[in-house]
Amino acid sequence: MAALPGLACASSLVLVLWAGFCSAVCVEVPSETEAVQGTHMKLLCISCMKREEVTASTVVEWFYRPEGGKDEPIYEYRKTNHEFPSRFSGRLQWNGSKDMQDVSITVLNVTLNDSGIYTCNITREFEFEIHRPVFTSSRLIHLTVVEEAGEDFTSVISEIMMYILLVFLTLWLLIEMVYCYRKVSKAEEAAQENATDYLAIPSENKENCAVPVEE
């Protein structure tokens, strides 16, 4: 996977957390679209309301459509939670917020058969004094379930850089060893030449080379 989706996911998480701490702020963040088999997958569905429209009754309906199939209801929130009999029975968990701006659900122990299109329908009836307008919105999530998590672009680049660094350090170490070996060899050769030259000097010259001792 590329680095941009990974960065987008991290940014989305920060925005969601920030929205949770600031009750007056709501950010409609798209859900992730890839899950790993055997993990838990949160299907993110956020529908923001204006501050003056917070007082409202909300109905949430979740549908699942397999590839080439039809939409089938899997979960509903209508003042209380209700899970429909389906392939997800016992594996759906409500993750909605108290203000009903986040109406997400989590699929537990995701399987390869859970790939497909998930639809989140939100119906709000706003409670104004004069009238009660109703607004609806929908979110589509195209989910793909894979057997194993793939390496993202950043980890691949880091691994390549690590190998390049190891090769560079190995070459540098070899160059240093060759340099030190040549330096030691030259020093040994110079010492041998000096010893040979000294042995080649006649004995009388050696005596003349001796330093006189003062009495």
Q: Could you tell me the two tokens for 8?
A: 């987008």
Phi, psi for residue 188 in degrees, rounded to 5? -65, -40
Looking at the chain, the number of H-run helices and the number of E-run strands are 3, 9
Structural domain contains residue 42 = yes
DSSP bridge pairs for 41: 107
Question: Which CATH number goes with the domain that contains 101?
Answer: 2.60.40.10
Number of domains in the chain: 1
Is the pLDDT score of 137 beyond 70?
yes
Say if 130 falls within a structural domain: yes
**48-97, pLDDT tens digit by residue?**
876 555 578 899 999 999 988 999 999 999 989 999 999 999 999 999 98
Q: How far apart are CA 20 and CA 37, in angstroms?
A: 28
5 vs 42: CA distance, rounded Å: 16
Do residues 84 and 74 lie in contact, with contact meaning Cβ atoms separated by under 8 Å? yes
Amino acid identity at 37 = Q
205 lies in some domain: no
SS3 160: helix
**pLDDT at residue number 73:** 96
In a domain, 62, yes or no: yes
Contacts of residue 199, Cβ cutoff 8 Å, sequence gap at least 6: none
Q: 160 in a domain, yes or no? A: no
Pairing of strands 34-36, 134-146: parallel
CB atoms within 10 A of CB 58: 19
Give me the domain span that covers residue 51: 27-151
- What would you measure as the largest C-alpha separation in the chain, in angstroms? 130
Using 50, 70 and 90 to split pLDDT, how confident is the model at 163?
confident
- Kindly state whether residue 214 falls inside one of the protein's structural domains: no
In Å, how far from its chain's centre is CA 87?
A: 29
What is the pLDDT averaged over residues 165-170?
Answer: 87
Q: Quote the pLDDT of residue 133.
A: 86
In-domain check, residue 33: yes
Q: Give the model's pLDDT for residue 198.
A: 63
* Highest mean predicted confidence (pLDDT) among 57-61, 144-148, 178-182: 57-61
**125, amino acid identity:** E
145 in a domain, yes or no? yes
Average pLDDT on 142-161 reads 77
d(CA 84, CA 45): 19
